[in-house]
Chain A
């Protein structure tokens, strides 16, 4: 859906200044607590990983081993990898947590992910035709994407993307849909191949050959366990991430609305283009604090552990400017995402579009 601005340029500027002030305050306050938190999470992740790998030697503990390894991979990819690669901890000056050097336990090379995610997705969030995270070039996730019979498979594609999520993320930069459409050629993606192949080789070698081989006769069990842990991580990450931008009420934008965009408008677009998930502290950690997708999109380079403390203020600012703050429980946000995936499998753009109102005029979706 397209969005109509309801704030005046002056209001937008004030809105941006208020958010800038939050950002300044947090940056000035960064210090030991943030460093200690990150190191604690990393220590836990390493411990879960070591425990998971070791428990495969005890066949009855197989479910525990899988659970432990799954937690390790989820922490590695979300609270550590995603956030470190955003540069949230570059200020530490620690090469272990530098966005330019960090590599995650995932088949997608960090270098390629940072381009499509940090740059394309975070800069052009929810701008149709610019943000490739709208449907990832596979799904129809917005009415403005023109319907084709291909999209009848929307639910099936979403299911496949969920179970193969890390592979989908790895293939994202190849922009296979653009190749199929004839807008670019396979040769155009050549410079990505070496990095991609190297990363895939390393991940496959570790999870599907070396660690299973180290358990000797238990090879098949360990192999299956590693595959299951990767699958659990895929399903979890997919579900959390789809709740970030696709629940009902999240706005998309037309390219012409975002030309010569001010900082205030950029903040405004980030706010309207994202949605949060409510939950407990442990839940937030396991989502990499992406349950605070709104705060993450407003301040992608602030350490994610700060998002919960900022959230109340952001919400208050939204209330004062009459802007929606989209949040809800996991089941509610996921439910609306699944409904959207199903609904958009079918044509029906014009009718719905006429019924759309500007998100800014809608009441805030309460938690």
Chain B
């Protein structure tokens, strides 16, 4: 109640006018980093290993205590997490939430597989292997429409592969908490029993769950992979059963093929970051929908050659007028030779030349 009142005051127009132009959050965080009126941040409460197979990326569950500004989430949604990996440069990545539906200000968990290919600024490696309780992370609100409907169908199929289990596990946990009375078929593909995230919890659900059929399969060890015939055997008439699928591209493709365009299937998958170093390729201007062969010249010049008119100023990398978001690919700063390989990086297009395939938000 009192917190609510404080929140309402802090979000009032009067306070906004008094704190102009910086905004009240930039004053509050000077006093306590967990105080916020608009922004969402969180403290790491704990980091628990889920999977630790030697020679394979770690999987860990990170429990977060968000600021009171966290609006809660629905199972299946994801959140952007920004961390200062080397103590300085903030990098932001999107992760699925693994805990059931949360209310405003509630703790929630992320279950993350480290992605060692993302390099030394890898957010996933930091969170799974180096993060310590008490550290602060920056969050967005929960996002995404890969969620269960308010009125649950009689029977649902939750389908996942590898670390794609995270959002569907959140759904399963929510349904258990809601004491869902209908049928749930939970089908998960993993490399091996040791690689299976939430293996113990799934075994427990399989043993005691009411109306929940759990199938954890290891195709590399001889189990069948996803196919229409297999699905039909498991869930007769499966095309009429609403399904939620999350996993690697191969699983999503197999699920799409099996459902043959039916809108009973909802999918979610994250594209792994791609590091390319080859010259050539193509340069895509995403907002204009224009793709041209990459000549290796600065993005600004190539955009102009393609008939676009991006904003620019000095054309020599000092004034930042032309800064644009690179959504994908690698660019090289032609003055310093620095490369930018992270997606969603802001680059000065007058001095940044693409290294192979590249997409710019222009």
Contacts and interface: CB of A to CB of B under 8 A. Distances in A.
Say if A and B assemble together.
yes
Interface of A: 20, 23-24, 27, 30-32, 34-35, 42-43, 46-47, 50, 86-87, 90-94, 96, 98-100, 103-105, 114-115, 118-119, 122-123, 199, 202-203, 205-206, 210-211, 214, 263, 266, 300-301
A200 to B, nearest CB: 12
A91 B89 CA distance: 7
B320 A35 contact: no
Given A87-B320, A122-B319, A210 B21 contact: no
Contacts of B90: 92-94
Contact of B321 (A46, A103, A105, A114): A114
Contacts, number: 97
B20 A123 contact: no
Nearest to A110: B21
Interface string B81-115: 01000111111100000000000000000000000
Given A114-B319, A122-B318, A24 B336 contact: yes
A93 to B, nearest CB: 4
B82 A93 contact: yes
9 contacts: A31-B88, A42-B26, A98-B346, A100-B346, A105-B22, A114-B321, A118-B318, A119-B321, A210-B18
Nearest to A85: B320
A202 B20 contact: yes
Interface in B7-23: 14, 17-18, 20-22
Nearest to B20: A202
Contacts of A214: 18
A94 to B, nearest CB: 5
Nearest to A118: B319
B295 interface: no
B225 interface: no
Given A23-B336, A210-B14, A46 B313 contact: no
Interface of B: 14, 17-18, 20-22, 26-27, 30, 82, 86-92, 313-314, 316-321, 323, 335-336, 338, 346
B21 A202 contact: yes
A87 B319 CA distance: 8
A214 B91 CA distance: 40
B336 A46 contact: no
Given A31-B86, A93-B92, A214-B18, 17 more contacts: A23-B336, A46-B27, A50-B27, A87-B320, A91-B89, A93-B82, A93-B90, A93-B91, A94-B90, A100-B323, A105-B21, A115-B313, A118-B313, A119-B319, A122-B318, A123-B319, A205-B20
A91 B348 CA distance: 12
Contacts of B316: 123, 263, 266
Lowest 6 CB-CB distances: which A-B pairs, in order? A119-B313, A93-B90, A103-B21, A123-B314, A118-B319, A119-B319
A206 B26 CA distance: 17
A90 B89 contact: no
A103 B21 CA distance: 6
Contacts of A31: 86-88
Contact of A99 (B21, B86, B88, B320): B320
Contact of B314 (A20, A35, A122): A122
Contacts of B314: 118-119, 122-123
B275 to A, nearest CB: 19
Contact of A301 (B22, B88, B320): B320
B318 A301 contact: yes
Contacts of B321: 114-115, 118-119
Contacts of A42: 26, 30
A24 B346 CA distance: 19
A96 B26 contact: yes
A211 B18 contact: yes
A45 B47 CA distance: 36
Contact of B87 (A32, A199, A210): A32
A98 B325 CA distance: 13
Residue among A100, A119, A214 with the most chain B CB within 10 A?
A: A119
B320 A114 contact: yes
A94 B87 CA distance: 12
A291 B86 CA distance: 31
Contacts of B87: 31-32, 35
